[in-house]
Every structure is written in C-alpha cells, then in structure tokens.
Amino acid sequence: MSRTIFPFAVGDICALARKLNTEIGARDAKPGHVELLNMLARGAGFRNFQHLRAAATAQDRLEQPQAVPAIFDHARVEQAARHFDRDGRLVRWPAKVSQQALCLWVLWSRLEPRQVFSEAQINKQLQALHLFGDYAILRREMFGYNLVTRTKDGREYRRVERQPTRGA
C-alpha cells in the first residue's frame, strides 16, 4: 500500500517540545504510533492527526491549478456574451447555431429547477429574458436542444436537469 506524505511544520518548536513532554509525561506507558501522530498533530495546533491530514489534503487541492473543463472555450463564451445586455437579457438571436446553443444554456440557467410551468408561464419568463420579441423561437429551440420537456399537448413544461454538452 502506498503511503501519502503529509508535510509537518510548526511555528514554534519550543511549544511543540513542551506539548510533547507534557503528553508523554502524563502517560504510564510508551505511546503507540497513532498516539504519537496525534500528539504531534496537537502540538502543531490540530485536534488530531486526521485533522492535520484533512488540512494538508485541502491545501494540496488549493495549490494545484484547476483544470478548465474541455467544454469551456473562452472565445465562444465571449462571442455569446455579446448577444446579452448588461441586465443579462438576450438582445438578438444569434445567426450561428453554436452561439444559439450557448445563449439557450444561459436562458435555461435562469429557469426555476424542478418547477412545472404552463405554456403561458414559460412564455412570460422567456419574454422577460430577451428583447427581440420572439419568445416562441426560444421555447421551441429549448425543447429542440432538450433543455426543457413538455407534455404532448404542450400544456406543461419542465426544465431538464443536466450538464452542458461538449458542443454547447
């Protein structure tokens, strides 16, 4: 079994030595491996060794550069952002299909999750999210991209809970 190495540093080695001396002196028998680990961790200001290990693991994760998901493309996002005003409303329907998909994801994110909408309710929400006056195209395209589902008669709509796809 491989062993994970956890760095150990204390601000004051004298305080660590006093703490270890106190804890070892209070014992009748020689401390075991785990007990020594806990004593060292407490001497460094942690509750126990598990606390020290969790802090070291969290620190490693913070220091590692975060990988940008492969689906994230800054240039495409910036191009799509140009279709929105300062209030986040869609100003115009993009000509490019790839830009349309990104814009639809933005609108999708503003719909209430796990909510059932009537056609009138979803139309009203989409009207508030755009400025070019064609909420029907937005509703149809959201359904076409499987961002919302609807009953066969079109009376009820629901947001589909899923992650953005690579092509979106």
Average pLDDT over residues 131-151: 94
Share of the chain above pLDDT 90, in %: 47
Q: What is the pLDDT of residue 59?
A: 77
Is the confidence at residue 10, as pLDDT, over 70?
yes
- Tell me how far apart the alpha carbons of residues 155 and 119 are, in angstroms, rounded to a whole number: 5
Q: What is the pLDDT of residue 95?
A: 94
Q: What is the pLDDT of residue 97?
A: 92
Question: Higher-confidence residue: 121 or 55?
Answer: 121
pTM attached to this predicted model? 0.57
User: What average pLDDT is seen over the chain?
Assistant: 87
Mind listing the pLDDT tens digit for each residue in 88-99? Answer: 999 999 999 989
Mind listing the pLDDT tens digit for each residue in 30-76? Answer: 888 888 888 888 888 888 888 888 888 877 777 776 555 555 678 88
Average pLDDT over residues 99-120: 93
Question: Higher-confidence residue: 129 or 72?
Answer: 129
